[in-house]
Structure 1
C-alpha cells in the first residue's frame, strides 16, 4: 500500500504568509499523526501560467504537478486570507480549474485567516458552500484565525490550536487513517 498524502493549498499571494503557515501547521499535524507524506503550496507557487489558465492543461508542468498532487491527496486542507469578506480571487480561480467531481467525497479541512473577528464566518459562508459544490466531505470543525492568534508569523493561540486538532482528528477518521493522539502538533 502506498503512503498516504495530505496536501494543503493557501490562497495567499504574499510572503511571508500567515495563511500558509496556518495551513502548514494543520497539514503537518495530520502528517505527523498519520505518518503521511505532506505537500503545501500557495497560489504564488503556481507561477506565471496560472492567472491566464482556463483549464489545468493551460498550466506549465510545474503548476500542473502541484494541482495533480493536491488532487491525489487522501486529505486536503484549504485556506485563504479574508479579503472583502471572502476568499481571494485567485484562490477561487484555482478551484475554477478543477473538474466538479475531482473532490467528491474527499476529506477537506476548511481554514481561513483575517485581520479580526468580524471575518470569522468566512469558513461557513464562503468556503463551505464552495466545497459543497464539489461534493467534498468537509469536516464539521472549520478553523478561523485572526492576527491576534499569531506571533512572528506562527500560530500561538492555544484555542485555535485545539480547534485545529479537533479538525485533524475528524479528517483522520473520515479518511480511515489511524489517528495517534500521543503526538504533539
Structure 2
C-alpha cells in the first residue's frame, strides 16, 4: 500500500512536519506501507505558476501523480487566520478534482492555541467531503501545549488505526458478497463504506 503525506509547514523544522512524521510512524506500526512525503513549501512557486499559466512544473506534476496513485493520505496544515493555510488550499485547487475521490484521508493541523482545534471540523473536513474523499473519524490537532502532554499520542494512534483499516479494507479482498462482474474485471474489490465504519467501531 502506498501512503502519501502532505505537509504544509513553512519553517524548518516545523511542528506541522513533526505531527506528520508522528502520524506516519503510527501508521507504519499498524501496517506495511510505502511512504512518500510531499513538502508543499517546496512547491509554492510551481503552484503559483500553475495558477497563471495552467501547467504544472515537474515537481508539482510528480506530487499530483503521487496523490492520485496513493492508497491513503495524511494531510497536515498549520492554522492561519482560523483556517488551513493558503498554500495548503492552493495545492488542492490545482489538483485534479477526481484525484482523491473515495480515497481514505487522515486530516490534522497544528496551531499555537487549542482554541483553533475546530479548524478540523469547520474547514478541513468539509474540504475533503467536497472532494469526495473518505475522511477518517478521528482528526488530530496539536497545539503548542500538546507536545509531550497526555492525549496527543493516543489520538495519533487511534487516527492511524482508522486510516490503516480503511486503506486495508479498500485494497484487500472482502468476505462480503461478490462484487459486480464489471468490478471484478476492473481488478478491484469494493468494500461498502458502512462495513468499513462497522469494522472501525468494533476495534
The bucket for the TM-score relative to the shorter chain is 0.7 to 0.9
Query: 1:71 deviation in Å?
Result: 2.2
Cα distance change of structure 1 residues 174 and 55 upon mapping to structure 2, 3 Å threshold: farther
Q: Which aligned pairs between 1:108-123 and structure 2 lie closer than 5 A?
A: 108-123=105-120
3-state SS, counterpart of residue 127 of structure 1: helix
Partner in structure 2 of residue 44 of structure 1:
41
Of residues 82, 92, 96, the one that matches 2:93 is 96
Query: 1:44 deviation in Å?
Result: 1.3
Computed over aligned residues only, the root mean square deviation of the Cα atoms, in angstroms, reads 1.9
TM-score (norm 2): 0.77
Q: Which has the higher helix share?
A: 2
Query: 1:157 deviation in Å?
Result: 3.4
Query: 1:149 deviation in Å?
Result: 2.1
Largest Rg, 1 or 2: 2
Query: 1:99 deviation in Å?
Result: 2.2
Q: Which moved more, 1:164-173 or 1:55-64?
A: 55-64
TM-score (norm 1): 0.85
For 1:111 and 1:40, the matched residues in 2 are separated by 15
**Residue segments in structure 2 that go unaligned for 5+ positions in a row:** 173-203
> Are the counterparts in 2 of residues 6 and 31 from structure 1 also a CA contact under 8 Å?
no
Query: 1:158 deviation in Å?
Result: 3.7
Query: 1:123 deviation in Å?
Result: 0.5
Query: 1:47 deviation in Å?
Result: 5.0
Query: 1:57 deviation in Å?
Result: 6.5
Whether 1:13 aligns to 2:5 is no
**Residue segments in structure 1 that go unaligned for 5+ positions in a row:** 151-155, 179-185
For 1:25 and 1:106, the matched residues in 2 are separated by 21
> Are the counterparts in 2 of residues 45 and 63 from structure 1 also a CA contact under 8 Å?
no
Cα distance change of structure 1 residues 50 and 146 upon mapping to structure 2, 3 Å threshold: same
Question: Deviation string for 1:27-74 (max 9, x for gaps)?
Answer: 222134211111112211225322221399622212211221122111
Partner in structure 1 of residue 164 of structure 2:
172
Q: Which aligned pairs between 1:137-148 and structure 2 lie closer than 5 A?
A: 137-148=134-145
Query: 1:169 deviation in Å?
Result: 0.9
Cα distance change of structure 1 residues 90 and 168 upon mapping to structure 2, 3 Å threshold: same
